[in-house]
Amino acid sequence: MKKNKTWAIGDIHGAAKALKQVIERSGADVENDKFIVLGDVTDGWPEVPEAIEMLMSIKNLVYITGNHDIWSREFLVSPTDPQDQKIVNHYMSWYSQGGQATVEGYKRRPELLDKHVLFLNESKPYHVDDNRLFIHGGYKPSIPIEEQDEFDIAWDRWFWMAVRDGRNLKITYDEVYIGHSPTIRYPKNDGSHKQPMNYGKVWNLDTGATYTGMLSIMNIDTKEVWQSDVVQTLYPNHKGRN
């Protein structure tokens, strides 16, 4: 009898073509396997609506809230008050960090906006599966995960930095999977920064698809990884977040 697999996917950032590639190259079964996406499907490349549609077609999907998803669901439904400079500045920060592509994507596909905002609103701040934690940014191991704020764990980089620095964190999970901190920012001489990075129990699957990297999918049982083409080459007429 065929055993269903569990897959983890890093930050997509509007790269629907890359998402299609990793699913096809891995041989993942969208009808039967479990897919855990580590957040940030929005902001970056031009096919945010198409990427979300593709995710929504997966039968057994767990979608984790990313910091860009929080930004997007906030500004896609809320008009920006031009009289409130703080809100304007916050909006422009999002817009310049990939939000422009999200806005333009829904100008092109406005019929998808409402159901996609609902999809983002129904995402999970974290997911625990067989004592394996899946989270976008990071968390504080000294505090129960259920007591930590969605915004904080979506934006957190402290955890990844602490893991890389070799701090003695009391991680009670068997494994932790994160995105958010692109591995291409942490180069190694052997080129392994282009692949997911592993320190002890922790795996970082954000291989920089939003910048000059590739999208990655991992079979979390075998640790086999498949990657897309360099995403820039899939969207030669767009800049992504470079």
Contact (CB, 8 A) for 134 and 154? no
Query: Looking at residue 240, what is its pLDDT?
Result: 80
Query: Looking at residue 90, what is its pLDDT?
Result: 83
Query: Looking at residue 122, what is its pLDDT?
Result: 97
The string of pLDDT tens digits covering residues 46-86 is 999 999 999 999 999 999 999 999 999 998 887 666 567 88
Options 3.20.20.70, 3.20.80.10, 3.40.50.10480, 3.60.21.10; CATH for 6-234 is 3.60.21.10
Domain locations in the chain? 6-234
Instruction: Give the full edge-to-edge strand order of the sheet including 6-9.
Output: 61-63, 34-37, 6-9, 216-219, 225-227
pLDDT along the chain (242 residues), means of 10: 88 98 98 98 97 98 98 83 75 91 95 97 97 98 96 97 94 98 79 84 96 96 97 92 72
Q: Which residues of 24-41 are buried (b: 16+ CB within 10 A; e: fewer)?
A: eebebbeeebbbbbbbbb
Nearest to 159 by CA among 140, 177, 175, 173: 140
